[in-house]
Homo-oligomer: A and B are copies of this chain.
Amino acid sequence: MPEFKPSPVEKGTPLSRPAHLLHDVPLPAAVVFEAPLTHNLAWMQRFADEHGAKLAPHGKTTMAPALFKRQIASGAWGITLATAVQTVAAHAHGIDRVLMVNQLVGRPNMALVADAIEAGLAYCCVVDGADNVRDLGAFFAERGLILNVLIELGVDGGRCGCRTAEQVETLVAAIAEQPALALVGIEGYEGMIAGGDEAASVCAYGKRLVDTVRTLQASGVLQCEAPIVTASGSKWFDLIAEAFDQAALREHYTPVLRPGCYVVHDHKLYAGAMANVKARHPGLEGELQPALEVFAHVQSLPEPGLAIIALGKRDIGHEPDLPLPLRRYPWGTEGEPWFDVSGWRTTHIMDQHVFLALPEDADIAVGDVIAFGTSHPCLTFDKWRRVLCVDASLEVTEVMATHF
């Protein structure tokens, strides 16, 4: 066994600093372009501000505290997360307000959250059932802490959440029996609405959230000054914002929007969703821009019209669409010239390989670099422990750790 033990390189990490993406980084690498990132941060914050809503971006998209900090610096009110471990990771990296939009289940998970609350984290999670309320009440009473909870409203055939007003009433009563729990608002996720006139259903759901929080406020069961009402993924954020805005909640409530994907946007799924937002609001200024790409080498040209790329399911999301080839950088160049290859097509992806169909006379060589876009960013970020910020000339500006 050799004595020498280099630090293991994490894939996509530059070998030197300063670093150029095409010369100093073992590819594949996931990159976020600075300019569209900066644009998106400002665009969505302004959108929330203009609708009188707070922004708590869903952090599960990136799980990159460096991006959380940019979101907070841009004006975000807090970070939304999905699990206790995500919450602890964010808090350990300086995030001091977390909206956890899932039930908190299991004593070790409760213990993690309790420790973070004791250490100063402003936190609330959601509840949708009396058993969980009882378990949380007992655990946090034992710890001598108050846990803030939101009641989750769900939709029939959807995911979690109370389906009916009666279920909400029952849950309110169950929470009232637990001195360690403070009911502070209502939470929902319109992304589960499917079929029929979806836009109309989303608007109706937004109205139901608003009506419910108002009913609860009127009945005096909400234990905070400006109760929270929150919803919105990255597809219908405009309609939820309008539902909250039309209700003129801004003075007496805390309306919170939670899109996550907007921060890097994408090249297809959310690009389409953005087009729909623009169609619904022709006057809306500007739009989100795709910022996330994965760069990889052409590894083999085994048959005419087929390139095998050194990239796979371990490196890039492939749902709902296979990776989208964007640009080709010839081997050994500095980033210029590059060539548009958006007409090429990914036909198959394996753990470590992508199959790219291209014209038989295509100009391509082993060692060339292809930049790929994605359709939905969430399942690309989680393939990487390090994501690189780069500027327009492909110089690395920041190495961002992820904490999945």
Contacts and interface: CB of A to CB of B under 8 A. Distances in A.
A173 interface: no
A9 B159 contact: no
A146 interface: no
Contacts of A308: 159-160
A267 B94 CA distance: 41
Contacts of A159: 300, 302, 308, 350, 353, 355
Nearest to A24: B108
Contacts of A86: 11
Contact of A26 (B85, B299, B365, B369): B85
A300 B129 contact: yes
Q: Is the interface of A mostly helix, strand, loop or mixed?
A: loop
Contacts of A116: 6
Number of copies: 2
Given A27-B108, A60-B352, A308-B159, A1 B102 contact: no
Contacts of A10: 85, 403
Interface stretch (A32-40, A334-342, A375-383): A375-383
22 contacts: A1-B94, A2-B96, A5-B93, A6-B91, A6-B119, A10-B85, A15-B108, A26-B111, A83-B310, A102-B310, A103-B310, A105-B298, A105-B366, A132-B366, A135-B366, A154-B302, A156-B303, A159-B302, A159-B350, A162-B302, A163-B302, A383-B404
Interface of A: 1-12, 15, 23-27, 60, 82-86, 88-89, 91-94, 96, 102-103, 105-109, 111-112, 115-116, 119-121, 128-129, 131-132, 135, 154, 156-163, 297-303, 308, 310, 313-314, 350-353, 355, 365-367, 369, 378-379, 382-383, 385, 403-404
